Structure 1
Amino acid sequence: MKEQNIYILGIESSCDDTAASIMHNGKILSNVIAGQKIHEAYGGVVPELASRAHQQNIVPVVDQALKQARISKDDLNAIAFTRGPGLMGSLLVGTSFAKSLSIGLGIPLIDVNHMQAHILAHYIDETGYAKPPFPFLAMTISGGHTQIVRVDHYFDMTVIGETIDDAVGEAFDKSGKILGLGYPAGPEIDKRARNGNPKAFKFTKPKVDGLNFSFSGLKTAILYFVQRETQANPNFITENLDDICASIQYTIIRILMDKLKIASHQTGIKHIAIGGGVSANTGIRQALKEGEKKYGWTTYIPKFEFTTDNAAMIAIVGYLKYLEGEFTQPNIAASARLKI
């Protein structure tokens, strides 16, 4: 029997977003995120700058989450926080704050695996969004991760495929850097790809055994391609930018979908869910919808605000663990390379 008044504070600080969320019985009451624009000038996240910004942001972000939810910190039943994976300095800020607040309020502490949270974000009680039944396949795609995970229960997950080098989000960002786009480049490539021809330029898909991925070779191929073409025509990028973006995005999506198709065939599982920041990409969402018609899949795409790093996904894991009485000891340590 589910308790009726459970308030969970979720805290997320794995990379460059400081986030806090209040959940009440599976429903989100607030979901506050403070981004860090300082990294744009460097074309990527600078770990030390990120941890400093987290220190500045975490108190006001948590305070704002409580105010928006219209509750007091004394109403909280537990605090859930991202233990890993992520940048160590960033994780330490969130971990230390969560521990201190837990001790100060005398309420349970719950550690959360960031990658599990991306998957379990589908179980946030949100009108109009179906929750995938077990078992299902989850494809988690972000700036730091690319995985296919078999999910048999909330906390019974098996990674059956992952990148052997770079993550898909990095492939988007590095390609954007080659083209002179800003950081992060993924959304800009997605936007321009809508106006381009996805088959204008052909990039070879890497051959990787099993269900694993590789994106480093693709990045190199794009670099050499752009260098060769701009040598022949200095205006090549500006004259063909939409087509280049569309071709890069098309190739990346084909790599992802080909592996997902094999995973579905091998496991016999036709319930497919996506998560992680790159799942906001419109091309990937469209390809998944096409998979429903082609392969008989039922696909689950989370609400946009729950795709990128956020604390609502941390709160839902905290809530599910709270119901099972899975609490954390105060001496737990953050882990930059935490596995599912």
Structure 2
Amino acid sequence: MIVLGIESSCDETGVAIYDTDKGLVTHTLYTQMALHAEYGGVVPELASRDHIRKLTPLIQQTLKQANLDQSNLNGIAYTAGPGLIGALLAGASVARSMAFALNIPAVGVHHMEGHLLAPMLEQQQPQFPFICLLVSGGHSMIIRVDGIGRYKLLGDTLDDAAGEAFDKTAKLLGLGYPGGPKVSNLALQGNPDRYKFPRPMIDRPGLDMSFSGLKTYTLNTWNQAKKDNDATEQTKADICRAFEMAVADTLRIKCKRALEQENLNRLVVSGGVSANREIRYQLDKLMQQRKGEAFYPRLEFCTDNGAMIAYAGAQRLLAGQSQDLNFATTPRWSLEELPAV
């Protein structure tokens, strides 16, 4: 089965083709980063309009790269949620229209399921069951995964997700957008011993997380530096290092608890923040200590992309799942609501 995947949940337009016999054929990605940079964050209306402009040319480009025609497609997968409603509708409308015109099935994919399954695009795939840490701009979740569509939410963020905290920290330090990579890169120059930031909620039982207090602690530290006439680039770097280490250490502690609680020793880490060096270092060290395994998507598939949607959609289409023409997008959508494959 040859499946076209379309991702348009936020500020990146991704298109890919996945062959269930041969694997990933090709993928293309257009990022709106430059469009939103001057506003310091994603503007939903601008994002939606840009998806509309870019989707058709990207689909044509992707088919050409794969030496395929629309008539070769056996199914279409698109992101149905969660995400920005206008952006989701842009991709869903194109996908459903193509499926109707070609008389092939289409399936709406949960955006976070796409991230969760992204490591399945690699040669070394994790075996079920495993613990998955999903960390992105809008989500920080710990999930037990027993199979595709068999998800149990163990822990969630109570306020700011890890990626959101990175972006807000970058903004308050004047680093610009997108914030996560800027904080991470500046942290490389920081002194790890200068500041010790709190590890939020590690003294409480359970696997829920909170990063809003850590963001506030960062702001207070920076404000104090300004009062002390020490608001230098080195101080910024030291703050970024302390902040990043606190986030990574918190995620490590929570993942260790989840693995012990569920008696598992395989960990999958997905989502945009999974590309962070310190987080990968901390989690790799944890799994080495436990003599377990850690799995990540390749860096280009950590952020939003069409390949993960094509893969997830292909598995559901193979299982006979699809939607009729009366499709709907779902800006808020629990992973636990998904049917099993």
Which TM-score band applies after superposition, normalised by the shorter structure?
over 0.9
Distance 2:193 2:309 in 1: 39
In the alignment, the residues of structure 1 paired with residue 164 and residue 3 of structure 2 have an alpha-carbon distance, to the nearest angstrom, of: 32
1:232 to partner: Cα distance = 1.2
Counterpart residue identity of residue 65, structure 1: T
Equivalent of 2:19 in 5, 11, 24: 24
Aligned to 1:3: none
Query: 1:209: Cα distance to partner?
Result: 4.5
Contact 1:179–1:237 (CA under 8 A) maintained in structure 2 = no
From 200, 219, 222, the counterpart of 1:223: 219
Letter in 1 for 2:226: T
- Residue matched to 1:339: 334
Residues 198 and 248 of structure 1 are in contact (CA less than 8 Å); yes or no, is this contact kept in structure 2? Answer: no
- Counterpart of 1:281 in structure 2 is 276
Structure 1 match to 2:67: 70
Question: Which residue of 108, 125, 139 corresponds with 1:131?
Answer: 125
Determine the C-alpha separation between the residues in 2 that align with 1:198 and 1:331: 54
Query: How many corresponding residue pairs?
Result: 331
How far residue 238 of structure 1 moved from its aligned partner, in angstroms, is: 1.6
Q: Within the alignment, does 1:197 sit opposite 2:191 as a pair?
A: yes
Rounded to whole Å, the distance in 2 between the matches of 1:80 and 1:130 is 24
- List per-residue Cα deviations over 1:262-317 (Å, max 9, x = no partner): 11111111100010011011111111211122222211011111110000000001
Deviations 1:194-247 (A, max 9, x none): 2322232111222254100101111111111111111111x4232323222111
**Aligned 8 A contact 2:190 2:234 in 1:** no
SS at match of 2:294: strand
Indicate the SS of the match to 1:44. coil
Is the counterpart of residue 214 in structure 1 residue 210 in structure 2?
yes
SS at match of 2:210: coil
Deviation at 1:179, TM superposition (A): 1.1
Q: Distance in 1 between matches of 2:232 and 2:206?
A: 35
Which residue number in structure 1 is paired with residue 338 of structure 2? none
Letter in structure 1 aligned against 2:29 = I
Amino acid at match of 1:18: T
1:103 to 100, 103, 107: 100
The TM-score normalised by the length of structure 2 is 0.94
Give 2:325's aligned amino acid.
Answer: P
**What letter matches 1:247 in structure 2?**
A
Counterpart residue number, 1:161 = 155
Aligned partner letter, 2:190: G
Alignment pair present for 1:120 and 2:117: yes
Is 1:10–2:5 an aligned residue pair?
Answer: yes
Residue correspondence of structure 1 range 32-43 to structure 2 within 5 A: 32-36=28-32, 37-43=34-40
Match of 2:167 among 167, 173, 185: 173
Equivalent residue in structure 1 for 2:77, among 58, 76, 80 = 80
Q: Does the residue aligned with 1:327 lie in a helix, a strand or coil? A: coil
Identity between Structure 1 and Structure 2 (%) = 42
RMSD (Å), alpha carbons = 1.2
Report the residue type matching 1:231 in the other structure.
K
Gaps of 5+ in 2: 336-341
Hey, what's the Cα distance between the residues in 2 that align with 1:251 and 1:199?
12
Distance in 2 (CA, whole Å) between partners of 1:274 and 1:134 is: 14
* Number of the residue aligned with 2:54: 57
TM-score relative to the length of structure 1:
0.95
Structure 1 distance, partners of 2:40, 2:7, is 22
Q: How does 1:299-314 map to 2 (within 5 A)?
A: 299-314=294-309
- Report if the CA contact (8 A) 2:135-2:274 is conserved: yes
Task: Please give the residue correspondences for 1:316-331 in structure 2 after superposition, counting only pairs within 5 Å.
Answer: 316-331=311-326
1:244 matched to 2:239? The reply is yes
Supply the distance in 2 between the matched residues of 1:27 and 1:182 (Cα, whole angstroms).
37
Q: Is the 8 A contact 1:175 1:222 kept in 2?
A: yes
Measure, in 2, the Cα distance between the counterparts of 1:184 and 1:237: 21
**Ranges in structure 1 where 5+ consecutive residues have no aligned partner:** 1-5
CA–CA distance in 2 between the matches of 1:239 and 1:300?
A: 34
